[in-house]
Each structure stands twice: as structure tokens, then as C-alpha cells.
Chain A
Amino acid sequence: MDRDKLRALQSERLVNTVHHSYENVPAYKKKFDEIGLKPDDIKGIDDLQKIPFTVKTDFRDNYPFGMFAVPMDNIVRVHASSGTTGKSTVVGYTRNDITTWAELMARTLGAGGTTKGDVVQNAYGYGLFTGGLGAHYGAERIGASVVPISGGNTKRQLQIMEDFGSTVLCCTPSYALLMGEAASEMGIDTSKLSLRVAFLGAEPWTENMRREIETSLSIDALDIYGLSEVMGPGVSYECMEKGGLHINEDHFIAEIIDPDTGEVLPPSATGELVFTSLTKEALPLLRYRTRDITYIDNTPCACGRTFGRMHRVMGRSDDMLIIRGVNVFPSQIESVLIDIEGTEPHYIIVVDREHGKMDELEVWVEVSPELVSDEVRSLEALERKIAHELHSVLNISLKVKLVEPKTIARSEGKAKRVIDRRDLNK
């Protein structure tokens, strides 16, 4: 599809989506009414900038199902991801949405050469997280043989990979790295495996990691992108050229904005990625701010696809961390510590990714006079309690370390809460 035709299709679908959103989601109607915008004012893609942004807190404010545009009778699936505080971001799908999603994931897997002859080992987690079922439905749509192994138990993963002759792997990039390390520890010669290609996403990674994964598993490693609010995996994907992720522009409009001012920038400028959905029924999304920083290249790709390519995500415009595929907001950690300490806590979050290992999360908590004891076992009990509470909220294992007061720098205004030692820009 050439880009002029694409634009016409986007315009037509945008008009429908705007009407659907305004008429069925009170939160959208309110946003429009507040600025005196009528759905009929949006006549095509040139009017897109008139529409107010949607942000993650809109999901919290309308928790759980308030952003849905169809009755629950028509919702056939619900997924959820972390919110900024206690409440999850909940997303829903109609039967048609699931079909579209499977189609787009099939495109994603197809771009790496997946066919019905492939054995797809799907090591994304199955559950509320969109990764597992998203990749599963896409692989089934192609007609490949899906091995729904889910995440974890690395030795078993490698055993099954050998025994079943898996040709395609779906998982997070850090898990792929871990598998590569484990394979060499187990004495598996990966060049003898049938594995050919991996579709890796749900967390930020780097070109260095790609090289390591490709070498250690003897495969091609492709980046895939998605977020549950927009749909899940399958929003954009790399082709074998590995020169950016093609955005499924027949289903989503991507914009790049200045994260500070909200001003729309040219696609080739680096800024925050904003998505508008064009075909979603259950959860139409108007100008959703992803907080992901990137830029878009609309020049033709050597593969022949005309869809624009976003550069791999370069960072975030908020403080969200993605650790082993799980979204973590410092505010979630803060609220747990406030509950335990009863005061404003001083803490710092340290994220590390040692070579060939999964991301490690440490939370350093300053010991206040109220918390300190003359007995080591009470301090150890405190560490365990904090770790347990954090684990139950974040759903991710972590280490708590007690540190002396003033260890954590107090800056003018907001303290620096996160030390991210993962080198994500190489």
C-alpha cells in the first residue's frame, strides 16, 4: 500500500473511531465537550491534532472497565498491566479485536519468516500480561505448531527446544540472553538446534544484546513492540532488515510529540510516541501517550514494506521501569514503604543487568531512627517484610537493602530515585 492510499484509509478509519469513542465512552465525550470539540469536527487525519491526548491515568480514573466502548457482553477477553499506583491498567477485547490482534501478530511473526511449518516455542508469560496469549494467537493464525511453555524453567525450555525441534522462539530479550548462557553451560551446541529466529519484546534492549543473542543461540533476533493499552505485542515489528520496527499503520496512527509541551514534531524528530487506534472496538484509543521515546523513519525499507519504521525504544518520558517484562513505577514502591514506615521514606531503586543474566531489582531503604534496632534479627525481619510487601504489589522478586541515612542524595526538589545500571543505549 502506498503512503497516499494509507493516509486515506487512516482518515476514514479515524472518523469512525472518533464517533465510536465519543458516543460510547463518557471519558472521551467529557474530554471533547470540555474544549467544545464535536466528533464531526474530525473529518480526517489532518484534524487529528485537535483531539486531546489520552494518558495512563485515564485508565486509573476509569478503573476497571470505564474506558470500554462496548457492553461487557461483547468483551471476550480482559488483560491488565501495572498502573502508576495500586490499580492496574485494564484493557478489553471484542471477538473482532482478538481476530485483528491475531492477524497483526501473524504479520509480526511472518516478517521473520514464520510459516505453518514452524514450531513456535512461546516463552512469554501467559496470564494477564498480553505477551503470552498475543504471540500464541498470532502463531496459531499462521498455522504454526505452538508450544505454550510460558516463561521460566530454563533447562526445561532448552530440553524442549532440542527435543521438539523448535524453530521460532518468543520471549523477552533478557530471557533469550539467559537461555544462550544456559545452553552453553549445558553443553548444547546451538548451531545444531533447529532454532532459527526469535521475536523479542516487552522490555528495552540494545544492539549489543542483539549481537550476543544472535551469536549464543545461532539465530536472527528481531525486536517486536506493543503495549497493552494499544493492543499488546504486534503494534510494530522488525523485518529481516533489522532497521527499525514497522508500525501497523493500517490499524494505528503514530505521532511523535515533544513530551514537555505536547507539540507535534515531525516523525523523524526524537520525541514521545503517541498512538491512535483505528479499528479497535472494545477499547478505542485516541492519541494515547505511550511515554516511550523514539523517532519514525517513513522512507522506503529494503524489504518493500511501506509502513513507517520506529527506532527501537530509546527511553521513557516518565519514571516507569520495565524489569523482566514487568512495568514498575517508583510510586508503587513509595506507597508500600509509606505503609510500613508511616513516614515519607528515603529510598532508591537500583536496576542492574549483569552479563547474561536477567534484570535485578534492588530497593535501598534508609534506616530511620524509628526502624533501627539493637538486634540484627529485627533488621533482617524488616528487610524481609519490605521485600515481601513489595513483591506482593509489584509481582516481581527483588532484594531489599538497608542503608545508612543520607546515603541517598537529597537534591533540590525531587530526589533521584532510580539508578539504572543497564546499558540500554548501545
Chain B
Amino acid sequence: MKVSQLSVFLENKSGRLADVTRTLSENKINIRALSIADTIDYGLLRLIVNDPTSAKAALTDAGFTVALTEVLAIEIPDSPGGLAGIIDIMAEEGINIEYMYAFVGTSGENAIVIFRIEKVDEAITILQRKGVRIFTGEELHSL
């Protein structure tokens, strides 16, 4: 149910993001979603890619510090109130969201949003009981 996300530590200097995307491109890795969290001195680039294991190896070889984290890819109705419905469920059930960002692709008529959740296994059980669709890595990459 969980999807591997790469987090790459980047100093705030020009060309570093380009170095990451070039490395991934050279290794034929497809970026499916990304977000950046930044401070004055550095940023964290979070990536969902089609092959996280190879991507981590390639980036590590290229001299980047990379962490793998398990996140959830959740289907959201692509209509007004779609995201609100999911967030409401999480709030009611006491599921704490650390951060979230949108996935580039779609599932039919529906959008996909990446959630980083503290107690991820508990959250999976609760969300599935509520009928929320959670993608596996394979499902996500075959979209």
C-alpha cells in the first residue's frame, strides 16, 4: 500500500536541481511527482519516481544524500470538495499529516495526492475501512 519517496538534500545553490534531474534522465528514470521544502540554506527535494531503488543508487553515486520514506498515494475525486472529504476523514480519525503534494498523473477521472503520514500503517487500515483508494507503487507506476 505504501509508495517509496526519495528525499534529496540540496544546498541552495544554482544548478543543484539541474544536477538531480540530469542524473535521473541519464539513468532513464521517470519523475512522477515532486515537491520542494526549503530553508534559507538548503532544501529537501521529494520525488516519486518509477524506479526508486535505481534512482536512489544513481543519485547516491552522483554524490547526493538521499533518504527513502514511505508515503501514501491516495485517490481523490477530481471535483469540488474532493480533497476536503479525504482530509475530513483524516481529521476525524486523528491521522496527522506531515505534508502532502499532488501527483502529476490521474486515475481516470480522479486525482492522486501524495500524503506523508506519521503513523502510516494505522492510517492505511482506517482509510481502507472508509473506502478510500490507496495505490501501491506498482499501480501508481503503471498509470
Q: Please indicate the chain A residues that have their CB under 8 angstroms from the CB of B66 in the complex.
A: 369, 372
By the criterion CB–CB under 8 Å, are A402 and B9 in contact? yes
Say yes or no: B44 contacts A367, CB within 8 Å: no
Asked whether any CB of chain B lies closer than 8 Å to the CB of A40, the reply is no
Residues of B within 8 A of A373 (CB): 7, 44, 67
Q: Which residues of A contact B50 (CB under 8 A)?
A: none
CA distance A403 to B64 in the complex (A): 11
CB of A49 closer than 8 Å to a CB of B: no
User: B11 contacts which chain A residues (CB < 8 A)?
Assistant: 403-404, 407
Name B's interface SS: strand
Task: Say yes or no for B37: interface residue by CB 8 A criterion.
Answer: yes
Q: Is the CB of B44 within 8 A of A379?
A: yes
Can you list, as one digit per residue, whether each of B1-15 has a CB less than 8 Å from chain A (1) or not (0)? 000010101110000
Is B42 a contact partner of A379 (Cβ separation < 8 A)? yes
Does A34 sit at the interface, judged by CB under 8 A?
Answer: no
Contacts of A376 in B (CB 8 A): 37-39, 44
Further 10 A-B residue pairs, CB within 8 A, beyond A367-B65, A402-B41, A404-B11: A369-B60, A369-B67, A372-B9, A372-B66, A374-B5, A374-B116, A375-B37, A379-B39, A380-B39, A402-B42
User: For the complex, is B63 an interface residue (Cβ under 8 Å from A)?
Assistant: yes
Q: List chain B residues, Cβ under 8 A from A407.
A: 11
* A407 vs B65: C-alpha distance when bound (angstroms): 12
Interface size of A in residues (CB-CB distance below 8 Å): 18
A405 contacts B by Cβ under 8 Å: yes
Give the distance in Å from the alpha carbon of A367 to the alpha carbon of B9 in the complex.
8
Given A374-B5, A407-B11, are A401 and B41 neighbors across the interface (CB < 8 Å)? yes
Task: Provide the bound-state CA to CA distance between A402 and B64, in Å.
Answer: 13
Residues of A contacting B38 with CB < 8 Å?
376
Cα(A369)–Cα(B69), bound, Å: 12
Quick one: which of B5, B46, B65, B116 contacts A405, CB cutoff 8 A? B65
8 Å CB interface, A375-395 against B:
375-376, 379-380
The verdict on A414 contacting chain B, using a C-beta distance below 8 Å, is: no
- Which of chain B's residues 31-73 have a Cβ closer than 8 Å to chain A? 37-39, 41-42, 44, 46, 60, 63-67, 69
Interface residues in A403-421 (C-beta closer than 8 Å to B): 403-407
**Could you say which of A374, A380, A403, A405 contacts B7, with CB atoms under 8 Å apart?**
A374
What chain B residues lie within 8 Å of A406 (beta carbons)? 63
Given the known interface contacts A403-B11, A404-B9, A404-B11, the answer about A375 and B63 at a Cβ–Cβ threshold of 8 Å is no
- Indicate which residue in A369, A374, A380, A402 contacts B46 across the interface (CB closer than 8 Å): A374
